[in-house]
Structure 1
């Protein structure tokens, strides 16, 4: 990630956009109109397996490492809640 978007609203917006972009790939079907308020499990039927796949895809796409130690089902409530979790759990570069 570039230095200017590693904190705050810019990072969250980038994460929301990236998650929405990755959803069709991870869910293996078309996903249109996803926003920060889109519910991942209720609206999109995401499972715990596809949730972890999404985290791995995010790491690859953004070239970051995400701590999954505290990651729970509630973090997958919406696209925005997942973006918030990721923003707060990025591991420092080695």
Structure 2
């Protein structure tokens, strides 16, 4: 499913953003507003695709939420996200294990 080419009447099409830019900063902190909105709406697959296709700026909190919610249905997709987040935590805590 490509969120940019879904039919207009598809329940999985991306939500329109008030500014027309899916990369608009989120009012909830760092990250993309579109991803927060899709997560709030329960559109997990579309949120995953939006995060994967974003050129930059997807917040770790958004990746963590996506990974938590999609772990059972997409374990192979979520594993690299988990490993990257764990690596960051190991570095910030000084834990080399």
Q: Which interval holds the TM-score relative to the shorter structure?
A: under 0.3
- TM-score (ref. length: structure 2): 0.27
**Bigger RCO (CA 8 Å, 6+ sep):** 1
- TM-score (ref. length: structure 1): 0.28
Structure exhibiting the larger radius of gyration computed from Cα positions: 2
Higher relative helix content: 1
Higher relative strand content: 1
